[in-house]
Amino acid sequence: MSAIRNTAVCAMICLSWLTPFSQGDLPADEPQANQQEPAKTAPQKPLFTLSKKTTYVTGPLRKDGTVDYVAALDAIASRGVTVENNAAILLYQIIGPGEILPELRNEYFKRLGIAPLPIQGNYFVTLDQLVQRAVVGKNVSEDEFAKLDPQVRRKVFAAQEKVWEQFDQAQGKLWTAREFPLLAEWLLVNQQPLKLLQQASQRSRYYSPSISTEKEFPMVSVLLPGVSRYRDLARALSIRITMNISQGKIDEAIADSVTCHRLGRVVGQGWSL
CB 127 within 8 A of CB 186: yes
DSSP sequence for 36-48 = PPPPPPPPPPPSS
What digits encode the pLDDT tens for the residues 212-247? 888 888 888 888 888 889 999 999 999 999 999 999
Question: Among positive and negative, which fits the CA dihedral 254, 255, 258, 264?
Answer: negative
Amino acid (one-letter) located at 36: Q
Percent of the chain past pLDDT 90, that is, above it, reads 59
What's the pTM?
Answer: 0.76
Region of 244 on the Ramachandran plot (φ > 0 left; ψ -120 to 50 alpha; else beta)? alpha
CB 238 within 8 A of CB 230: no
Give every CB contact of residue 62 below 8 A, 6+ residues apart in sequence. Answer: 68
CB 127 within 8 A of CB 167: yes
What are the boundaries of each domain within the chain? 69-117+169-268
CB 227 within 8 A of CB 75: no
Q: What is the pLDDT of residue 142?
A: 83
Query: Could you tell me the pLDDT band of residue 62, with boundaries at 50, 70 and 90?
Result: confident
SS3 state at 61: strand
> Mean of the per-residue pLDDT values for the chain?
84
CB 131 within 8 A of CB 180: no
What gap in Å lies between CA 96 and CA 92, rounded to an integer? 5
